[in-house]
Each structure stands twice: as C-alpha cells, then as structure tokens.
Structure 1
Amino acid sequence: MYYKKVISIKYVSKSYYVSGNELLYNDGKSLYHYDLLNNKEIYSAAVNKGFEFIKRVKEIIIGISSFAYTFLSLDFQPIKITLVENGLGDYNLFNDNLVIVTTDYDYTNFLPKQGLQDVFSDKVLWETDLGQTIHIKAGQVYTFSFNEINKRKIINGEVIWSLKITAEKTVPKFIAALKSILILGLNENVLLGINTETGEVLWKIENFNNSSYVLDENEGRLKGITGIGYYEIDIVSGKRHRTLLRSIEEISNPEIFDSQRDNFVLIGDHIITTDCSRGIIAAFNTKTLKYDWIHEEKDVYFPAAKPIKFYDPYLFVLDNKSTLHIFKREDKIV
C-alpha cells in the first residue's frame, strides 16, 4: 500500500466535501472549488460564515456553523440563512435534510435538550427530554443519557425500546453499528454490544480499552491500534484479542510511533492512523502487524480531533496549522 502526496492546501477549516475529483473547502472566510485531478482551483467566493460542515445536496450547497445553517448556490451565492437560537447539537447533515439542534439548555446542571430539525421547512420534528442527546448512526436514531439508551423513530421520535444503564462520567459513546448490532462505550473501560431490534445486551466487556477502534464490516470486527498494541473484537460474540506490540515502558522513547486517535480509516487490511505528537501518517497492516507505509510532514502534527478521511482514491488529513494534506492511493508498493 502506497499513497502519493498530491498537494497541501493551507488555511483549511475542518469542513471540506469531496465528490469524485472535486473538493469543496472552507477557510473560515471563503469557499473554494478545487479540481483534484488537475491540481488547480476552479473558483472561490467570500462567505460570511465559518462553516464546520459543508455538503452538496443536489443543486445546492448546505453549510453548517455553530448557530446557523446556510443554503448556497453552486457558485457559492447565498440563498438562505437559518439561525438556530441555542446552537447546533452536531455539525452534520443527516438524510440530506436533517440537523440536530439544541432547543433548550439547563445551565445549572449543564444538560441539553435537543431536537431534530428539517432544514428545508426549518421546523423541529421532535424533541428529547432534558439531558438526552440525539445520535443518528447507520440510518438509526438513538438518544443517550447518563442512565438510559433509547432507540427512536426518525420521523416523530417515538421510543421503540429503552435500556437502563449506569454511566458515571459521560453519556455513552458510539463505537460502531452494523446490521442488528450497536456497539457503545461506557465510562472509560466498558464496551456493550446491543441488539438494535430489541435493545437486548448481547455482551459486555469490562476493564478493556473502549476507544481507538474502526469497524471492519467485511469481517464483523472492531479493529484498533494504540501505542502499545493491536486490538480486535468480534461484534457478534464480544470475543476479544489483544496483541502487545511493545511494553508500556517503551512508549517513553520519542522515536516510537504512538497512535492515540480513535477516528481511523480502514482500507482493506490497513488502518490509517497518525502519530500523536509528530507529523507522521502511516498504514498499519492488520495481518502482518507492521506498518507498510509511513509519511512524515516536518514541523507539524496531526491532532486526533481532526478525523482522517478517505474518498477513494484520495486520503485527507489536517494538521495543527490547518493545512490539509492530500494523498492519492497508488498500486505500487515502496
């Protein structure tokens, strides 16, 4: 596996959209339309919103910022701007027409109330109770709180099933979903496998890493890499396996590649990840347990909060200076 560097684009916010060889990106002041095949800018236009998310939906572009969503024409001219008084609950667009909004907030106990809003009608379709957050994963809608998980109907929020839990510090963390299985992380070291049709707990793993995973849909396994080991979990049975690659003491060696992110990209048998403190991106082979491809950018690092993205054949990663590094997958191996 080999990735050839295509270009680095400076001053890119974390919002960019890729379709084929076309790239739309935002620097907080302007939107740009870029041709990846020919490595050239097609056009740009100033915008008055720094978008956290952008996507083309048919003949319009929808941009989402902290307290608004904006419709733009394909040449970046504004069509409408809709303000959201309490802000967006998630910088994403679901089913090409839905956003999660905060409809109220308890500032004493720091508990939000959220709703699902249609961006074309600007109407809130339904709301949660105070303290519940909405999560849309694999086409299904869930609400999480400190003591309960609900599966709901997307159209009206009607509860399909409820599961009582105990989350001491944070609401449950979504790990993965495939077919009829939902994987969640509780607290810092608990993993749950849940039947999405019934809400039944299929398995529970305690005192085990519950972050740093990516789902291999073909094998039905969670796969993850950290600084010291490689992990696999069968999502049907909950059976787990850990392979230590080095001792904890070795992590203090500054030359060791130390992956500490939990938003990998899985391409075939390779996990694409980055070093936590240096500008190194690499492809970890889950079969040989070795890194087949390593690339370094000097004087930067790749923050874990900025996801790696892959739109075949292009690989994208943002560094700490808001430079977007773009690679193209090649057939040759070096």
Structure 2
Amino acid sequence: MPTVIFAVLAGLAFLLFLARTRQDPRRFGNAVLLGLCLVLLTLALLAQVAAGSAPAPLLAAVTLAFALLALGVLALAFLLIANGVTMVRKEGPRPANLLSGLAGLAVLGCVTLTVTAADVDSPPLQRVAGAVLLVAGYVSYVFLSFLAYASLYARLTVRHDVDFVVVLGSGLIGGSRVPPLLASRLERARAVYEAQAARGAPPVLVTSGGQGPDEDLPEADAMAGYLIARGVPERHVVRENRSRTTEENLRFSEAFMRERVPDHWCVVVTNNFHVFRAALTARRTGVNGQVIGSPTAAYFWPSATIREFAAIFLHYRTVNLGSCVLLALMGFLVPS
C-alpha cells in the first residue's frame, strides 16, 4: 500500500511540475516539484523493497545504488577539495573561489560526525549529529533539485525568431579586453544572430554592462567592439552601459527593448552555470524571453554552480533558513 501511495503522489507532483513549467519555466518552484517527484519515486521503490515484493534484479540494483551512493559521497568530497585547490591556483584565493573546497570539507565533516556519533555512546553528540544530518539532507534536496532542473532548463532550445539578443557582461582583463568567459557568451550570441540573420530577420544585439572601478571603459563597449570586429554590423549592436549587477543588466535592457518593440521576444545569453539564476531574475524583472548558456571551463563549473545555488538559496532565505532552523531543532530535541 505505501508503494502505491508514494507512486500516486509522485505522479501528481510530476503533472503539477509539467503544468507549471509549461506556464513559465523560469520558476524555482518547478525545481522543487521535480525534486519532490524524484524523492517520492525513490520512497515508492524503497517501500516495495521493504515489503519484500521487489523482484531480485530490482533488489540487487537498489543495494548496488546505495553502495555507490556511499562511495560517491566520499569521492565527491575529495573531488570538491581538489577542485578548490585548482580554483585557488588558477583564479586566486578570492572567497568565491574557495566554495568548492569548503563544500568538500563540509561533506567530509558530516560523514565524520555521523560515523563518530554512531560509534560513541554520547547522547549529546548523537543529537548534534541528528540536527546536522537533517539540515544537510534538506540542503542536499534543494541543491539536487536546483541542479536537475537547471540542467533541464539549460537544454531548452530557441524555438522561434527573437527581436533582441541580450549579452550579460562580466569583468574585463586589464581594464579593456574581453576575457574568455565573456567571449564565450559573445560567441553564443553571435551564433544566434547569424542563424536568424540567415533567415532574413537579424535581431538586435544588446551588450549589457557598465564600467567597474578597475576598468578603462564600460563592458558594453568592449563587448560591442568584439562583435563588430567579428563581422556583426554596427547598426545591429546596441550598448547598455549603465548596469552593475545582473538585475540591472536585465532591467535596463528590458526598458530599452520595450521602448523599441513593446511586444518583443528576446534571448538572454550568459554562461551555462548562470542560466537558471538569470532566468529567475529575468522573470522577476519582467523580461519577456528565454535565457541560454555558453560553455564554461570544466574546472570553473563546480565553484560557480555552488555560488549560483547559494545566491538562490539565500534569495528565498525566509523559507530555506526557517526550514533549516526547524529541522535542526527537531534533530537536537528528539531523543535518539
């Protein structure tokens, strides 16, 4: 009976996920629903195994999956720590570059605490371990939901012609040169432009980025120069050179696009790790369009993804931090 209940609930969660995603794919609630669906399916599977009604191949698969999960957690911790070392070596010891290493140490800390609490007859330590595990479980659920749905959203294709292609800026090298990270965004935007221009309806490229304190010119000007030097007609490039944040990138660009074409449709280009958070921001700022991603160096991806998740997690801080506090209290107060 529990198997059927969990399976039905998973089906309902999936139908709701499809309906909400069809209505607007730029919602974090979609990620939560997808994660809930996967959790319920897992519970249905475990309920079937616990009831003894699972066929032998399924039972073997579940056992193997849990063994791989345990090994995978340890492997993940060491890979994250190694990536943290690589980030510091290649990008410098800035706080954002420490995230993957710190995440790996946190995973190892949770594993060590759990094993120690199970081995030592210490009720206070077991309560602490229970609280930490509940919070870690919640954060892991939200993170995996984010990761799964962000991967799906990043694979959405541009289905019809667009009026504008907005390229989000990032820092310049030496105050004036486009770095590889930003060049990948510009190349993806140029590919969209050229594909649509070949059909006879070239969109307007909007380069969006202001001038930082260590930059010799606005990012938008450097980006526009990059595109024009590679064959994009200057009349098809517009500069938005006031913005300092992603929200301002989108808000200022949207104001320009709405003034030019009130009923417009656009594509926003950023790096693949930033796509989903940019999509959430686009929805919040009223941008009528889709966000697409460009490639990022593999070593850069873990820390960047963790940074994006942390920003989203803290954006919904009331729900997320409240849930963490409640779970921590439950774990600490409930007798072991």
- Report the TM-score range of the alignment, normalised by the length of the smaller protein: under 0.3
The TM-score with structure 1 as length reference comes to 0.25
Q: Which has the higher helix share?
A: 2
Q: Which has the higher contact order (CA 8 A, sep 6+)?
A: 2
TM-score normalised by L of structure 2: 0.25
